[in-house]
Amino acid sequence: MDMGLNELPDDSLCRIGQVVRSRKGKDAGRWYVIVGISEDGRRVYLADGRKYTPAKPKPKNTIHLQRTGWYLDEIAQSILSEGRMDAGRFQALLSGLYRNEQQGG
**Predicted pLDDT at 104:** 60
Name the percent of the chain lying above pLDDT 70.
79
Give 26's pLDDT tier (boundaries 50, 70, 90): very high
Q: What is the mean pLDDT of the chain?
A: 81
More confident residue, 27 or 5: 27
What tens digit of pLDDT does each residue of 37-85 get? 998 888 999 998 889 988 899 999 999 999 988 888 888 888 888 877 7
**CB under 8 Å to 86, separation ≥6 — which residues?**
78
* Cα torsion angle, 8, 77, 29, 24, sign: positive
Domain spans of the chain?
A: 5-102
Answer CATH for 5-102 from 2.20.28.120, 3.40.50.620, 2.40.50.140, 2.30.30.30: 2.30.30.30
φ, ψ (nearest 5 deg) of residue 91? -65, -40
Measured from the Cβ of residue 83, the count of other Cβ atoms closer than 10 Å reads 8
The answer to pTM > 0.85 is: no
